[in-house]
């Protein structure tokens, strides 16, 4: 039976990425060695790093003055690296969910943190709109996509201070005006590569302005100077990321990808809204196109477990909602084919017909 991978992360990857990485694991570029065992400083791997960085910048149309880094530690390490490098007196945070809350918590270790707005009281089912960003803040931090509650900021915010964005789960899902951001970061295991590599796009002139000493490994300038090679980088995930970047370029870039993503999301949201058994959990105007969260309608709540088993029998993988919220979550990342979305819709219709 064909499996349809809706996992929230690690998640579905392009078949192009999987096949090319598998070949390189067996024999990298015909050198008789695996990508897993070559030196990261070898003449064989350096072109991989260079091309990945260049394609990343090309696809996002990154302007001059920024540097693309491939690091370890996941987005969770960036929660502290950002304030370590940027927070001198005060930072502003928009609290839109679990990961935004975690980022904010870490920043409080380094200075004053202002929460400009939060949707916590409504179980994070919307993106706050009416807030003001303090002009004396060192930076303003947002989490663009809320994987657990299914909301997303899909427009680039105009900020009077440097804008920092965690784009772990929606990077490359749409074009981004990078010039509006000071730092963009994220774990790669949702839209780019297997777990193990973290991407950071940083505007270089923001660095070196805090008075504190920064540990060598946590200083962005260290990794800029050494082109992400200060210590051994996650070689295999970077190689896989390069394959995904090639796949995206071959597809036609981010405008094409965005159109495909919107189409997939609209298909599924339309079925959720039509089907008598289900309802969406996020406010309509803030619905994510990456993580589609829904629950059983109140009168059918007792069918939740039954639907979960039914869907699994039909090949749906990873649609159970996050343990903190329950219900269901279909992650429709870039690499998820439209056919998988249709299969889930057919599954929902079939289950409804039995009621």
pLDDT at 303: 96
One domain, residues 129 and 275? no
One domain, residues 218 and 273? no
191 occurs within a structural domain: yes
The residue out of 236, 251, 266 marking a domain boundary is: 251
- Asked if 158 is an active-site residue, the reply is no
Q: Which of 166, 170, 219, 286 is catalytic?
A: 166
**CB contact set of 130 (below 8 Å; sequence gap of 6+):** 117
The CA distance from 200 to 218, in Å, is: 12
Q: Among the residues of 110-232, which ranges form H helices?
A: 220-225
* Positions of E strands within 72-188: 90-95, 112-118, 140-143, 145-146, 151-152, 163-166, 183-187
Calculate the average pLDDT of the chain: 97
The CA distance from 12 to 22, in Å, is: 15
109 occurs within a structural domain: yes
Q: Which of 67, 99, 170, 246 is catalytic?
A: 99
The CA distance from 176 to 86, in Å, is: 22
The CA distance from 9 to 187, in Å, is: 10
One domain, residues 59 and 195? yes
pLDDT at 2: 87
Burial of 265 (0-12, 13-18, 19+ CB in 10 A): buried
One domain, residues 214 and 291? no
Q: Does the structure show a pLDDT above 90 at 29?
A: yes
One domain, residues 151 and 264? no
* Positions of E strands within the chain: 4-5, 66-71, 90-95, 112-118, 140-143, 145-146, 151-152, 163-166, 183-187, 198-203, 278-280, 291-296, 316-317, 328-331
The CA distance from 280 to 272, in Å, is: 6
- The torsion angles phi and psi of 284, rounded to 5 degrees, stand at -55, -45
pLDDT band for position 35 (50/70/90)? very high
Q: Which of 67, 170, 190, 320 is catalytic?
A: 190
pLDDT band for position 31 (50/70/90)? very high
Q: For residue 104, give the CATH number of its domain.
A: 3.40.640.10
**Sign of dihedral through CA atoms 332, 334, 336, 337?**
positive
Q: For residue 292, give the CATH number of its domain.
A: 3.90.1150.10
107 occurs within a structural domain: yes
Using alpha carbons, select from 92, 103, 161, 102 the residue that is nearest to residue 128.
Answer: 92
Q: Does the structure show a pLDDT above 90 at 175?
A: yes
The CA distance from 166 to 306, in Å, is: 35
One domain, residues 226 and 310? no
2 occurs within a structural domain: no
> pLDDT tens digit string along 237-266?
999 999 999 999 999 999 999 999 999 999
Count of structural domains, the chain: 2
One domain, residues 151 and 28? yes
The residue out of 251, 273, 293 marking a domain boundary is: 251
One domain, residues 36 and 177? yes
One domain, residues 131 and 260? no
Q: What is the 3-state secondary structure (H, E, C) of 219-270?
A: CHHHHHHCCCCCCCCCHHHHHHHHHHHHHHHHHCCHHHHHHHHHHHHHHHHH
Q: Residue 96: which domain range?
A: 15-251
One domain, residues 271 and 228? no
Contact 127, 144 (CB under 8 A): no
One domain, residues 137 and 218? yes
- Asked if 247 is an active-site residue, the reply is no
> pLDDT tens digit string along 45-103?
999 999 999 999 999 999 999 999 999 999 999 999 999 999 999 999 999 999 999 99
One domain, residues 204 and 145? yes
> pLDDT tens digit string along 292-343?
999 999 999 999 999 999 999 999 999 999 887 889 999 999 999 999 999 9
The residue out of 251, 279, 305 marking a domain boundary is: 251
Using alpha carbons, select from 156, 159, 140, 154 the residue that is nearest to residue 100.
Answer: 140
The tokens 């015909």 sit on which residue?
Answer: 30
Q: Tokens in use for 254?
A: 């981010």
pLDDT at 289: 98
- Asked if 99 is an active-site residue, the reply is yes
The CA distance from 128 to 146, in Å, is: 13
5 occurs within a structural domain: no
9 occurs within a structural domain: no
4 occurs within a structural domain: no
222 occurs within a structural domain: yes
């Amino acid at each position: 039976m064909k499996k349809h991978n809706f996992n929230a992360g690690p998640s579905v990857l392009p078949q192009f990425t999987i096949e090319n990485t598998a070949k390189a694991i067996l024999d990298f570029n015909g050198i008789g060695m695996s990508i897993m065992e070559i030196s990261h400083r070898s003449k064989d791997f350096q072109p991989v790093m260079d091309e990945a960085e260049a394609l990343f910048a090309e696809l996002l149309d990154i302007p001059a003055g920024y540097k693309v880094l491939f690091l370890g530690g996941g987005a969770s390490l960036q929660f502290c690296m950002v304030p370590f490098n940027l927070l001198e007196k005060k930072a502003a945070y928009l609290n839109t969910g679990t990961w935004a809350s975690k980022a904010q918590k870490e920043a409080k270790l380094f200075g004053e943190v202002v929460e400009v707005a939060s949707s916590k009281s409504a179980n994070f089912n919307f993106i706050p709109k009416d807030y003001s960003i303090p002009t004396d803040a060192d930076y303003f931090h947002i989490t663009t996509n809320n994987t657990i509650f299914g909301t997303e900021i899909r427009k680039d915010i105009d900020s009077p201070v440097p804008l920092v964005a965690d784009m772990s789960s929606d990077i490359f899902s749409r074009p981004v005006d990078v010039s509006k951001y000071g730092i963009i970061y994220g774990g790669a295991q949702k839209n780019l590569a297997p777990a193990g590599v973290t991407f950071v796009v940083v505007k270089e002139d923001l660095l070196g302005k805090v008075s504190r000493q920064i540990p060598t490994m946590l200083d962005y300038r260290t990794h800029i100077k050494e082109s992400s090679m200060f210590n051994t980088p996650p070689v295999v995930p970077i190689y896989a990321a390069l394959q995904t970047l090639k796949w995206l370029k071959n597809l036609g870039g981010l405008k094409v990808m965005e159109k495909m993503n919107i189409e997939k999301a609209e298909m599924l949201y339309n079925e959720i809204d039509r089907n008598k058994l289900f309802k969406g959990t996020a406010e309509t105007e803030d619905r994510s196109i990456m993580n589609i969260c829904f629950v059983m309608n109140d009168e059918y709540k007792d069918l939740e477990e039954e639907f979960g088993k039914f869907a699994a029998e039909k090949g749906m993988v990873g649609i159970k909602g996050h343990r903190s919220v329950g219900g269901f979550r279909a992650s429709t990342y870039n690499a998820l084919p439209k056919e998988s979305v249709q299969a889930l819709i057919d599954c929902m219709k079939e289950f409804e017909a039995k009621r």
